[in-house]
Amino acid sequence: EAQVTQNPRYLITVTGKKLTVTCSQNMNHEYMSWYRQDPGLGLRQIYYSMNVEVTDKGDVPEGYKVSRKEKRNFPLILESPSPNQTSLYFCASSLEGARGRGYTFGSGTRLTVV
Amino acid sequence: KQEVTQIPAALSVPEGENLVLNCSFTDSAIYNLQWFRQDPGKGLTSLLLIQSSQREQTSGRLNASLDKSSGRSTLYIAASQPGDSATYLCAVLTGANSKLTFGKGITLSVRP
């Protein structure tokens, strides 16, 4: 089944403890992206990658890192999480920048930082 | 900067009603527009994708239209059911970086 898989689905952590949220897609998509969703603010792009080794900042990149060493994986790294990073996170992928077939989203990761 | 607006933020209708959800965007230079459904605390399910050159797309009881020049899209839901209760998000794709810009969504409640 074609899908974007995120792990973990739920995570509670403490301030300052480094964590990684994994994202993997099995559709051979070039383009991958991370979004966070917050009440009243909607979905906002954190980082995106147009292909292997090519990443760039979205609208809210502060406090996050990403890497794209392989086409299928695009992990989101929080080096020193803070409570304002408590949010629902989504990974998405698309073929050729989504101009043809649109985006496929993962099921989300609900992160709580205490 | 692209901005996407969905009004109202919430809508409650009786079962069986036909309804229209509206979406507007400020920059008409889009590649496509995508409608998503989101159940509480869940992921995004793509409902319909309309390319910039298209006027509408249909899937079952859903029909989405696009008027790119006026910056508007509508999602029409025929014969609404309680199972249609969810948040509906509109998103437009723009720019060389293929960025999706989302509206804040319309939370729909269909009463039995």
What DSSP element (H or E) covers A36?
Answer: strand A31-38
Judged by a CB distance cut-off of 8 A, whether residue B32 touches chain A is yes
CA-nearest residue to B46 within chain A is A104
Sheet holding B56-59, edge to edge: B4-5, B19-25, B72-77, B62-67, B56-59
- Average pLDDT in chain A: 93
pLDDT of A64: 98
Residue A89 phi, psi dihedral angles, 5° rounding: -110, 140
pLDDT tens-digit readout, A33-52 = 999 999 989 999 999 998 89
Q: Which residue of B has its CA nearest to A104?
A: B46
Give the CA radius of gyration of chain B. 13
Residue A96 Ramachandran class (φ > 0 left, ψ -120 to 50 alpha, else beta): left
Q: Do A108 and B49 touch (CB under 8 A)?
A: no
pLDDT in tens, B33-77: 999 999 988 889 999 999 999 999 999 999 999 999 999 999 999
Residues B41, B21: contact at Cβ < 8 Å?
Answer: no
Residue A97 has pLDDT above 70, yes or no: no
| A103 interaction partners in chain B (CB closer than 8 Å) | 34, 46, 91, 100
Taking an 8 Å cut-off on Cβ atoms, the answer to whether B46 and A102 are in contact is yes
Q: 């609208």: which residue's tokens? A: A59
